[in-house]
Chain A
Amino acid sequence: MWDSRLVPAALAFTLFLFLAATALAQDRPGRDTAPQVGDEAPDFELSLLGDPEKIIHLSEACREQPVVLVFGSYT
């Protein structure tokens, strides 16, 4: 019933689909694990664009004033 010549092609196609799905999954949102309102904000220290020696610590930045975080990218 099965043509043995088709097996390698079928396997290759299956592998291609798996790799494509994996690649696309990395660009899709998964489970939403963001901190909730009332949770302690995850602290971080990141460098400022244009002044890489200036490090911003969230815990220091929010000491005197609230902090607005805008996550995003160019694309």
Chain B
Amino acid sequence: MEEIYKEYRNRANFFVVYIREAHPVDGWRTKENDRKGIEIPQAKTFEERSGVANTCAAELDLTIPMLVDGIDNRVGEAYCGWPDRLFVVGTDRRIAFRGERGPRGFKPNDMVLALKEVLGNSGSKDDMESALDKALEGDK
């Protein structure tokens, strides 16, 4: 995702929305996390969740701006984002891409294809004027 962010950050706003843990130690813990020494309980306060989000950003070297969902999980539930998921929202505030739930459904390449389509359909006024100028130049 970092690579995608670096490529498209000037044309789209990227946000990681940090939601409730997928595999907390006091819930559905996994051997893989145990092996990596990732032993994190489900946060009970916003401050706890923000602390873990900070750790996540540091450990994974994330530069994508991160938002932290409230402890009521309102945004995560509104988007059914758990455990991980991708969306693209267009400038009309409508869902342009709805990824399936992860991990199997978490497909950044599919998201990029949709993002390219959204960007391709939203040429700026300057782009259109420039294209018109070029067309008029050709008629002279």
By a beta-carbon cutoff of 8 Å, the part of chain A in contact with chain B is 23-24, 26-29, 32-44, 46-50, 52, 56, 58-59, 61-75
Q: Using A56-B15, A67-B88, A71-B17 as known contacts, list a sample of 17 further A-B pairs with CB atoms less than 8 Å apart, ordered by residue number in A.
A: A34-B98, A37-B95, A37-B98, A41-B95, A47-B67, A47-B68, A56-B67, A67-B15, A68-B15, A68-B111, A68-B115, A70-B14, A70-B16, A71-B82, A71-B84, A74-B40, A74-B55
Q: State which size class the interface on B falls in.
A: 35 or more
Contact A42 B78 (CB under 8 A): yes
By a beta-carbon cutoff of 8 Å, the part of chain B in contact with chain A is 1, 8, 11-24, 27-28, 30, 33, 38, 40, 50, 52-57, 59-60, 64-70, 74-91, 93-98, 101-102, 111, 115, 118-119, 122
CB distance from A57 to the nearest CB of B (A): 11
A-B contact pairs, 20 of them (CB 8 A): A24-B28, A27-B24, A29-B82, A32-B80, A37-B95, A37-B97, A42-B78, A49-B54, A68-B12, A68-B15, A68-B88, A68-B115, A70-B64, A71-B19, A71-B87, A72-B85, A73-B21, A73-B22, A73-B56, A75-B30
